[in-house]
Amino acid sequence: MDLKIRDDESYYIYAGSKIHVQISDTQSAIPCTAGFPVIKPNGIKGILTGGHCVFENTDPDVYTEIEGQLQDIGDVTKVAVGDKDGNEYAFIELHTWAWGDPTACVPKLDRNGILRFVPIDSIYTPKLGERVCGFGSFNGYICGKIVAVNQTAEFSRSRGLPNYVAKGLNKVDTGSKVFSGGDSGGPVYTSEGLIRAHPVGHVVGGGKKDGKGVLFYMPIEKTLKALGNYKIITADSCPE
């Protein structure tokens, strides 16, 4: 299910976009979801996604659909997939010279069940029992309650790659709804209605356990600390 709500050039990439990360040896691509937009200390802009979306750290190309065509929008330049600190992320440096800046907005369902864009504001650290929401490009908008924090979990990978262990994860009970593979990397956040959204983390894994939906997300503070002085890109409003 492609829940992308705009595919024109002005919205070419935002937190929740479907992206395709190239596999170097086969030239095929893995579908994942864009996380929050960030800016490096030198002013270069990019987006986050799941580290396990990247099979080889060889600056693979990243694509998204713009006006019906897959376009090369950037390159993966930093990856962690269960390093010694349990980090799990990828940073995609965007071709802003070709497509412009990323849209600092996330999709959210309004009271009528219609997807709307909400501007990204300051990061937030939710506590145990608080409600958070996430967006995946395959399964859309899903919310739930944090049931455990600072968790360690092991995840499998395809193509014969070894399992990896991520640390510092938060676990969310998502009820009857679940995130799946193509949702990896997608934004997790809290929000104040449709006024502003506060980044919380990105989707690392999801599925069902004992009949309930489960989400593991990597807190945004841990990822930004690992990257070193990267900052979330915020916005006062979203373009029409």
- Residue 71 burial class via C-beta count within 10 angstroms: exposed 0-12, middle 13-18, buried 19 and up: middle
Instruction: Give the pLDDT score at 3.
Output: 42
Instruction: Give the pLDDT score at 213.
Output: 93
Same fold flag, 9-104+226-232 and 105-220: yes
Instruction: Give the pLDDT score at 59.
Output: 57
Handedness of CA 127, 106, 102, 234 (dihedral sign): negative
Per-residue model confidence as pLDDT tens digits over 108-142: 988 888 889 999 999 999 999 999 999 999 999 99
Per-residue model confidence as pLDDT tens digits over 50-59: 999 886 655 5
Q: Could you tell me the fold of the domain covering 105-220?
A: Thrombin, subunit H (2.40.10)
Instruction: Give the pLDDT score at 206.
Output: 86
d(CA 171, CA 150): 8
Residue ranges of domains in the chain: 9-104+226-232, 105-220
- Helix or strand or coil: residue 59? coil
Positions in the chain short of pLDDT 50: 1-4
Alpha helices in the chain (DSSP H): 96-99, 220-227
Encode burial over 87-120: b for 16+ CB neighbours within 10 A, e otherwise: bbbbbbbbbbeebeebbbbbbbbeeeeebebbbb
Sorted by sequence, the CB contacts under 8 Å of residue 5 that are 6+ apart come out as 107, 115, 117
Instruction: Give the pLDDT score at 85.
Output: 96
Instruction: Give the pLDDT score at 126.
Output: 96
Q: Could you tell me the fold of the domain covering 9-104+226-232?
A: Thrombin, subunit H (2.40.10)
